[in-house]
Amino acid sequence: MSSVTNNGDGETRSREWKAFLFITVFLFPILSVMFVGGYGFIIWMLQVFLLGPPGHGG
Amino acid sequence: MKSFLLKAWKTFARPSVHISLGVLTLGGFLAGIIFWGGFNTALEATNTEEFCVGCHADNIAPEYAGTIHDKNRSGVRATCPDCHVPHDWTSKISRKIQASKEVFAHFAGFIDTPEKFEERRITLAQHEWDRFSANKSLECRNCHDYDGMDFTKMSPTARIQMKQAKERDQSCLDCHKGIAHHLPENMDSSGGMISELEQLASNTKYEKDENYTSVRHLPIYEDKALSVEAGLLNPASSVKVVAESGDVMQVEIAGWRKDKGYGRVIQEDFGMNIAVASLLKESAQNDAVVDKFEIKEDDLTGLPWQRVNVKVWMKKDAMLANVQPIWDKAKQSYQTNCSVCHTQPAEDHFDANTWPGMFNGMMAFVNFDTDSKALVLKYLQKHSSDFSDNKH
């Protein structure tokens, strides 16, 4: 255990917590919204160019 | 900057040293719950009447207010998103993204005033009609299910229409356009039939002793100076030119009228209610305008009819020497407008005196202007069983 608790210990701990919070609070929510929005956009474009408006029970 | 990104990437890519797997997973799990809850809350918030009215307070909300979907005896309401946002998740997300185009059009100034909106209404309405047509009015049918309809509780006219619609699994909006909104202004479901015929008529050469047929209602006058009005000539009515001068002509309208009241309406033939012209009271009683001939009694109604010849003046305008283009256009209009809701009866299924009642009963469902209406009715009467070889 002594090898882990070296000089950079406190710095690494704070970096890991910052990274964790950044990912869960900002990065992944934003990516999720972009992903869902992109999915909607692709469906829209498919409807415009290929499929036509959504059909009955489809 | 580069070293910061590098450090950050190293932290991301490496197993964590100080935070346990349990804390990481729990943290991610909780954040996921909060995110998805928030996402759906936001999605629902943009799916409320209040949200829509936030922008559409001036142009849409007033016309929707008071319609059957807004206020009714049972208090069940269908608000904007119930009809305009698909309920299925994928279609819903895709529709939400589409709305970004509408928001863009507003802020970029393409459609940012009520006037511009009205101008574009027909285009925008067509988008929705296309959507409803493709999904067979799925959003209506989320509530109004054909299988749930009790046809015995409908009025007879509704029953006939709705049963046929069910058999064909028809889209509600085929007939019920404008149920919650104003229809686009100048929406001309006759497809500009009258103006097309008028254009055709601009080439007509008017000559004495020839017959011409009107393409729309035309004013007629007692005198050559066109100063004393005599009444209106109906669309698709034939007259004979007896004199002409400059851009006016004197025409002869031959027909029959009921010898009762003022005798204002001139019909095409004895016993048939096919209107050719309607005269003003004074002109109808003016012997200088109306020549009277023999009187016959109609056995069916017991009414006396009199053969008349009306001589009036009119402009050389909006008439065709050949009647066929008028019948072609009217036939087209009859077929497109009426087949939207039901299989239209053959023209010769009814006689000339039955058609007006049948036809007027349907006028609430189509957007005909008065000229188109009179023209199509006359087409039906003139091709009814009275004029057809294969009589019913």
What does the alpha-carbon distance between residue B388 and residue B349 come to, in Å, rounded to a whole number? 10
pLDDT, chain B, mean: 87
Contact between chains at B135 and A43 (C-beta distance less than 8 A): no
Residues of B with CB under 8 A from a CB of A: 7-8, 11-12, 16-19, 24, 27-28, 31, 35, 39, 86, 88, 90-91, 93-98, 130-131, 133-136, 138
Give the span between the Cα atoms of B181 and B188, in whole angstroms.
17
B159 with B211, same domain: the answer is no
Sign of torsion over alpha carbons B160, B161, B166, B168? positive
Count the domains in chain B.
2
A38 within a domain of the structure (yes/no): yes
Residues B65 and B130 in one domain: yes
Q: What is the pLDDT of residue B111?
A: 87
**Structure confidence by residue, pLDDT tens digits, B43-67:** 999 999 999 998 888 888 999 998 9
Reported in sequence order, the residue ranges of B316-381 that DSSP labels E, i.e. its strands, are: 319-320
Q: Verify whether the Cβ–Cβ distance A15 to B7 is below 8 Å.
A: yes
* A56, part of any domain: no
A1 falls in which pLDDT band (50, 70, 90)? Answer: very low
Predicted pLDDT at A2: 44
Q: What are phi and psi of B139, to 5 degrees?
A: -65, -35
Asked if B19's CB is within 8 angstroms of A20's CB, the reply is yes
Which among B303, B4, B146 is positioned nearest to A56, based on CA atoms?
B146
Q: Is residue B157 part of a domain?
A: yes
| pLDDT tens digits, one per residue of A25-48 | 999 999 999 999 999 999 999 988
Cβ contact B60:B125 at 8 Å: no
Query: Does residue A57 lie in a domain region?
Result: no
pTM score of the predicted model: 0.58
Of B17, B31, B86, the CB nearest to A24: B31
Q: Looking at the domain assignment, is residue A40 inside a domain? A: yes
Residue A58 has pLDDT above 80, yes or no: no
Please identify among residues 19-58 of chain A the ones whose CB lies closer than 8 Å to any CB of chain B: 19-20, 23-25, 28-29, 32-33, 36-37, 39-41, 43-44, 47, 52-58
In a domain, B217, yes or no: yes
Which of B18, B31, B96 is closest, CB to CB, to A40?
B96
Number of CB atoms found within 10 A of residue B269's CB? 16
Residue at which a domain ends, from B320, B350, B372: B320
Q: Which one of B7, B35, B95 has the shortest CB-CB distance to A29? A: B35
Give the range among A6-10, B161-165, B299-303 with minimum mean pLDDT. Answer: A6-10
With contacts defined as CB-CB under 8 Å, which chain B residues touch A29?
31, 35
Question: Given this model, what pLDDT does residue B150 score?
Answer: 93
Residue appearing with tokens 């009790």 = B150
Mean per-residue pLDDT, B314-340: 86
Give B-chain residues touching A12 at CB under 8 angstroms.
Answer: 11, 17-18
| Structural domain count, chain A | 1
Average pLDDT over residues B101-127: 87
Residue of B225, B232, B245, B220 whose CA lies nearest to B312: B220
The verdict on a CB contact (< 8 Å) between A19 and B19 is no
Residue A44 lies in a domain: yes
pLDDT score, position A8: 67
Would the pLDDT of B213 be above 90? Answer: yes
pLDDT at position A52 over 90: no
Distance CA B326, CA B214 (A): 9
Q: Looking at this predicted complex, what is its ipTM?
A: 0.77
Higher per-residue pLDDT: A3 or B145: B145
> A6 lies in a domain?
no
Whether A17 has its CB under 8 Å from any CB of chain B: the answer is yes
Measure in Å the smallest separation between the Cα of B16 and chain A Cα atoms: 7
Tell which wins on pLDDT, B369 or B319.
B319
User: What percent of chain B is modeled with pLDDT above 90?
Assistant: 37
Domain span including residue B212? 205-320
Q: Which domain holds residue A19?
A: 12-51
Indicate whether B158 and B97 sit together in one domain.
yes
Cβ separation of B31 and A28 shorter than 8 Å?
yes
